[in-house]
Amino acid sequence: MVRIMTPVVLPELLVAAQARHHEARDLIATFARQETPTGDLAALDDFARSLAERYRGLGAHTRLIDTAGGAVLVADFPGRGERADSRPVLLLGHHDTVHAPGSVSVHETDGQLHGPGVYDMKGGLVVAESAIEILAELGWDQRPVRLVLTPDEEIGSPASSDSVVANAEGVEYALGLEPPHADGSLKTSRHGSTRVRIFVEGRAAHAALAPHEGINAIDELCDQLALVRELTRTLPDVLLNVGAITGGGRTNVVPDRAHADIGLRFRTVEDETAVLGLLARLEPVRAGALVDALVLTSRPVWAASSASTDLLDAVVASGAEAGVAVAGAPSTGAADTNLVGALGLPTLDGFGPLGDGAHALDEHVRLDALASRIALLAGVLHRV
C-alpha cells in the first residue's frame, strides 16, 4: 500500500522549479544535440557515460550494464531525512531516439523547444534530474531513487528488459518518464505490445516452365497473414499492423523465402494469450511449405489495478499541494513501464513534459509547462 506522508503545503517546489526554468530548457537542448538514435552503440554509450558522470555529481552511485543494444544506466540516489531508509522509487526512462542524425534541428519557437527526442524522452530525463536537484537544494526529505535508463526502448527493449525487471526488485513503486497524455494526464495502464516475424520457406522454380515444382513463399505468407487478420477481427480490442514484408526478387522465379513483421497491441492478457497461441501453432496452407513465427520483442499487458489507483490518488494529492493539478487515464502505447506494471508493482507513467510530435519532425516540448512537471515529480519523491 502506497502511503502519503502528513499533508503539508509545498508551494516552494513550484517556485523552485520556475527558478530553474532556463537551466532545464537549456539542458534539454544540450541533451537533444547529443543525438542517440537506436542502434548507434557508440553514441548511446557516450551519452550514458556522460549522464553517469552528472548523476555521480548529484551523489548517486552509478553502474553501466552492457547489453547487445548498448549500456543500461542504473543510478541509485540516496534518500534524505526521515525518508532515507524508505524503499526506493524506481524511475524508468530511456536515452535512445528514433530520429536519424541531422534530421531534426534543435530550435525554439513560440514557447516550444524542438529537437530530436526532446519529447520522447530526453525532456523526461531533465524533469527527473531537476526534481532531484531541487529537493537537495531545499534540504527536504526524499525517498531513495533508483533511475534506470535503457538504450533500446524505441524498438521494444529486446536487450534491456531483463535489466529493468531485475532492478525493480525491492522498490516501493515505479514511475515512468515518458510523455504524458496530451492534456498532461498520467498513464495508469498500457496495452501489451508484441512484434512478431512470420517466416515462410517455400521452393524456388521457374515461374513459366515449371511453376508446379515450386512453392510460392509470398503466396503462403499472404495466406498466413489473412488467417491472423481473421482472428483479430473477432477480438476488437486487438490492434494488428503488418509493418513490413520481404520476399522474392524476380518475377520469373517462384520465390522460396518471405517474411513479414507484424505489430500487435493487446488490452487484456486473455487476448494476448489467444493471439500469441495462434501464432505459435501456425500450419502451412501449401504442402511442403515451412512456416514459423519468431517473437522479436514482447511487452506484457500492464492492466489497471487497485495498487496503481492508490498510487495515482497519492500523486494527485501531492500535486495539488504543490499547485499542480493532474489526473490519470489508460494508454494504448507501450513502454518499459509495461514490464514492471505487469509484475503487479504500483506503477504510473507520463511524468515527462507536455508537448507533441513524438517520432515526428515537429517533435517539441511546451516550455510553459516544464516547471509544473518538475514540481510534480519532486513532490512525489518527497511525499509519496
Q: Is the pLDDT of residue 5 over 70?
A: no
Reported as a pLDDT band with limits 50, 70 and 90, residue 257 is very high
Q: Which CATH superfamily is domain 11-190+306-383 in?
A: Zn peptidases (3.40.630.10)
Q: Is the pLDDT of residue 324 over 60?
A: yes
Instruction: Please give the pLDDT value at position 252.
Output: 97
Q: Is the pLDDT of residue 9 over 60?
A: no
Instruction: Please give the pLDDT value at position 11.
Output: 80
- pLDDT, mean of residues 267-271: 93
Domain coordinates in residue numbering, the chain: 11-190+306-383, 192-299
Angle at 171 between CA 170 and CA 177, to 5 degrees: 145
Q: Is the pLDDT of residue 6 over 50?
A: no
Domains 11-190+306-383 and 192-299 share a fold: no
Instruction: Please give the pLDDT value at position 238.
Output: 95
- pLDDT, mean of residues 115-138: 97
Domain range 192-299, its CATH number among 3.30.450.30, 3.40.50.620, 3.30.360.10, 3.30.70.360: 3.30.70.360
The percent of residues in the chain predicted with pLDDT above 70, rounded, is: 97
User: For 189-234, how does the pLDDT look when each residue is reduced to its tens digit (9 = 90+)?
Assistant: 999 999 999 999 999 999 999 999 999 999 999 999 999 999 899 9
User: For 146-201, how does the pLDDT look when each residue is reduced to its tens digit (9 = 90+)?
Assistant: 999 999 999 999 999 999 999 999 999 999 999 999 999 999 999 999 999 999 99
